[in-house]
Amino acid sequence: MNRTEIIQRIIDKKKAKTYLEIGLADGKNFLKIRARRKIGVDPNFTKRLKIDRIKLTPRNLTNMAALYEKCTSDSYFARKKSTDRFDVVFIDGLHTYEQSLKDVINSLANLNEDGVIVLHDCNPTSKAAALPESLAKDAANLKSPGWTGAWCGDVWKTICYLRSHRMDLRVFVLNCNWGLGIVTKGQADICLKLSQEELNEMTYENFENDRINLLNLRDENYLFKFLENI
């Protein structure tokens, strides 16, 4: 299963009315998602999505509206209405530990109690795909060995942080589509005990040696069990 299918299954099961997507890229995922109201946030829309705060009603969908916000996620959350809550949030913005964690925290503050956050790129399959942002840019420019253009960054550390420091959250990762993290409010079932310092010092090798435990990694079919309980 890919990210679009998984997000849509969650939306359909919850009968979700509001959907937020952070990081649209070319819009392939956002444009396919069906939700009564959906908001896309990205400071650098491609030509296909060259729109700034324009409300759209897709011709092939009724009673649905899309709003595009051309800004950073930090800027969006700083000025959004506090009463505007989301049922489902998909985070696929800057693939760094720091920014992805900030996006999760901000999303949680604006999530309905039974809402779901889906976080992309949590399970890099190679050291090159897991490079920090600055090194990834160098690897792309130099066409370094092992670099394929696929970049997850160190988003995996955000999963480790949440599982170590947020006992009020249930967190696991589906083993598909570069790792789709699922975050919901509720008492954590399985926890890690990593300090902030330990997280900062962790390397890809540390991750590779213990990825199943660190991510609470589940087969993609676990999604159906999850859907039964939301």
The whole-number pLDDT of residue 52 equals 43
The total number of structural domains that make up the chain: 1
Residue spans of the chain under pLDDT 50: 50-63, 142
Domain that holds residue 46: 3-228
Opening angle at CA 11, ends 79 and 179, nearest 5: 85
For residue range 174-227, list pLDDT tens digits in order.
999 999 999 999 999 889 999 999 999 999 999 999 999 999 999 999 999 999
The number of CA neighbours under 13 Å toward the Cβ of 7 is 27
Which of 45-50's residues contact partners 24+ apart within 8 Å by CB, and which partners? 45/70, 49/24
Placement of tokens 């900030």 in the chain: 102
pTM to 2 decimal places: 0.91
Placement of tokens 């011709």 in the chain: 59
